[in-house]
Structure 1
Amino acid sequence: MTLRIAVQMDPLESINIAGDSSFALMLAAQARGHSLFHYDVRTLAYDTSEGAGGRLTCWAAPVTVQRVEGAHYTLGEHRLIDLATDVDVVLMRQDPPFDLGYITATHLLERLAGQTLVVNDPASVRNAPEKVFVLDFAQFMPPTFIARRIEDVRLFQQRMVDRGMPGDLVVKPLHGNGGKAVFRVPADGSNLGALVEMFQNAWVEPFMVQPFLADVAEGDKRIVLVDGEFAGAINRKPGEGEFRSNLAVGGSAEACGLTSAEEAICASLGPELKARGLVFVGIDVIGGKWLTEINVTSPTGIVAIDRFNGTDTAAKIWDAIEARHAVM
């Protein structure tokens, strides 16, 4: 079975082919004989002038890829394609921010249901933002607080101290990504006021607050699940002078397995992810037991996982996509 695949992602010239998961997925699809298109989400258009049901189109170019730095892709001529009739699969892979533009794209792509397979399912992506969906599994999370008022945050911090925790906090945007704008607040709260002001001015939504987990010094584990099944993991350790372990901010990766607590987390999440059509998901776990995020928009990490473990996660993802497409 060969598929026609439209990849909705950021400009190809900007990606790092050594570690980019979208690029790895494109290489794997091409190796299976699937044909690829690339398009920018900003070219999506919906037209109802031709009759009931409407038509979702984009300006896309056929693309071939190769693992050659500086010459890693070749684009054909851009043309208007119908995402319901000209392709079999849409791979939604543009990076956040998870803003109104992102949400609008999921609403448009949702209209392809029953015609073209969209991965991950756009309605589920919209309804499962990383730091909100995870609240459904609060039994695995560290104590978590979502708010905007500094007075409320100080009360939360005091409750953590009363429980015997050190009192240091981590404050992060609710819809951030890649470790951006994640701050550590010392137990004395000396920079909390300024941070709350900054968050209030920069974002309309509330922010997330959690106790600082000292275990992060030993790493923040990225675990990938494919159609609800464990596919691999890496441990990301903070760089020198950092507490954030994201590879995008200088963290380093190392091979790892799963603890029994992490296996329990995967077992709990797996059926729900599969039911929601969330085929490629990356979860983050600190200290072998604390679930902090469920990444569904544009998960990363498969290149490092495969390099350390000798696996082929991209192949597992395409196996799952092909199986889903076959029963549409």
Structure 2
Amino acid sequence: MNLLFVADPLESFKTYKDTTFAMMREAQRRGHTVAACEPADLVWQLGGVVQAAVRRIRLTGDAVDWFETVVQEVAELRRFDAIVMRKDPPFDSEFFYATHLLEQAEREGAKVFNKPRALRDHPEKLAILEFPQQIGPTLVTRSAQAIRDFHALHHDIILKPLDGMGGMGIFRVREDGLNLGGIIETLNRDGAQSVMVQKFLPAIAQGDKRVLVIGGKPVPYCLARIPQGGEVRGNLAAGGKGVAQPLSEADRAIAEHLGPILAARGLLLVGLDVIGDKLTEINVTSPTCFQEITDQTGFDVAAMFIDALEQAAA
């Protein structure tokens, strides 16, 4: 297959842990052609089709100079067998516009994974609202008073912005309510910005689990991201320790319930965040943890993904 990855700059990849790199490596190992571009490289003009300035690359196997550019060219997206959208969050205006260009490419014959419309329809914090039976007590609001009422009811809460990533902007407020007013002001911005508030789940001590679902089927191992040093956040970007472990019965039940639903909407790869037996987020933009799970368990997550990509693009 002739594959295009729409991603962040290749020079920024941390190849020892980067999931997109793992995908590329497995694709090349199977003899597929790998090309890459950034969202800023996408172009459409009346009378033409969506194109991009792309780099066709070869992975070298070197830890530092990990790729070499074989050719640089302007290519029509519809000429690729599959396009893998792997731009990291945040889901900002430019990401939004890129999904529209990719959707236009779909109308012209391209096959894009994850599907651009599905990326727009599943904001990573809010997508859980569709599955109330899987989540803990949750509030989404602009109202400072509603947040205070939620705290009075549940006593120990987590507050987070809807556009955060990697644990950014997450706060815990315990029963004493210390700093609740200041945190509300910071996140809520005097009613201008919506906030998600959730009851604190003590099971975070055993990890914020990343459960990967590929082609509607769960990867048999998750990565439990365990908070360190008194932190409340388990995110790897916030210093959490990643420990791979087999899926629990609850993990598998959640993944098997959501997996087919999300796959039918064009979400080939999904990262479910689970604390204890509660779903906390549905990650669709650029789910990670392939290499951590593979390194610790031997299960080849990238191979499972490329298998699913080959089948979906056929």
Q: TM-score range by the shorter chain?
A: over 0.9
CA distance in 1, matches of 2:265, 2:60: 32
Give the stretch that moved more between structures: 117-126 or 229-238.
229-238
Paired position in structure 1 for 2:263: 274
Alignment partner of 1:149 out of 143, 148, 154: 143
Q: Which residue of 1 aligns with 2:161?
A: 173
Instruction: Determine if the alignment matches structure 1 residue 93 to structure 2 residue 82.
Output: no
The answer as to 2:214 corresponding to 1:264 is no
Residue in structure 1 matched with residue 282 of structure 2 by the alignment: 294
Q: Equivalences for 1:39-58 in 2 at 5 Å?
A: 39-48=37-46, 50=47, 54-58=48-52
Q: How far apart in 2 are the matches of 1:77 and 1:241?
A: 49
Using the alignment, how far apart are the partners of 2:289 and 2:117 within structure 1? 23
Tell me, yes or no, if structure 1 residue 238 matches structure 2 residue 227: yes
- TM superposition shift of 1:225: 0.7
C-alpha root-mean-square deviation of aligned residues, in Å?
Answer: 1.6
Per-residue deviation, residues 16-42 of structure 1 (Å, max 9, x unmatched): 111110110010111111111111101
How much does 1:259 deviate? 2.2
Residues in 1 aligned to 2:204 and 2:5: alpha-carbon distance in whole angstroms: 34
- Check whether the contact 1:27–1:66 (CA below 8 A) recurs between aligned residues: no
Q: Provide the rounded CA distance (Å) in 1 between the counterparts of 2:65 and 2:189.
A: 41
Q: Residue 190 of structure 1: CA displacement?
A: 2.3
Equivalent position amino acid for 1:236 in 2:
R
The one-letter code sitting in structure 2 at the alignment partner of 1:7 is F
SS at match of 1:111: helix
Return the match for 2:20 from 2, 8, 22: 22
Distance 2:60 2:241 in 1: 25
Corresponding residue number in structure 1 for 2:241: 252
Q: 2:6, 2:45 → 1: CA distance?
A: 19
Give, in whole Å, the separation in 1 of the partners of 2:90 and 2:184. 20
- CA shift for structure 1 position 189: 2.1
Is the Cα contact below 8 Å between 1:174 and 1:207 reproduced in 2?
yes
Residues 1-328 of structure 1: matches in 2 within 5 Å?
3-48=1-46, 50=47, 54-85=48-79, 87-113=80-106, 115-160=109-154, 167-201=155-189, 205-231=193-219, 232-287=221-276, 289-326=277-314
Equivalent residues of 1:221, 1:235 under 8 A apart: yes
Percent identity among equivalent residues? 39
Letter in 1 for 2:94: G
Partner of 1:55: helix, strand, or coil? coil
Decide whether the 8 Å contact of 2:78 with 2:106 is kept in 1: no
Shift of 1:68: 2.4
Structure 1 residues 79 and 205: alpha-carbon distance in aligned structure 2, compared to 1, 3 A threshold? farther
How many residues of Structure 1 are paired with residues of Structure 2 in the alignment? Answer: 312
Instruction: Tell me, yes or no, if the aligned pair for 1:17 and 1:67 is still in contact at 8 Å.
Output: no
| Secondary structure of 2:271 counterpart | strand
Structure 1: tracts of 5 or more residues without a match: 161-166
By how many angstroms is 1:77 displaced?
4.4
Aligned residues of 1:7 and 1:93 also touching (Cα < 8 A) = yes
Once residues 202 and 104 of structure 1 are traced to their aligned partners in structure 2, the CA distance between those partners, rounded to angstroms, is 28
C-alpha displacement at 1:319, in angstroms? 0.9
3-state DSSP of counterpart to 1:37: strand
**Alpha-carbon contact 1:148-1:196 (below 8 Å) kept:** no
Take 1:67 and 1:177, find their aligned partners in 2: how far apart are those partners? 30
| Residue 163 of structure 1: aligned partner | none
Normalization by structure 1: what TM-score?
Answer: 0.91
Q: Which amino acid aligns with 1:46?
A: W
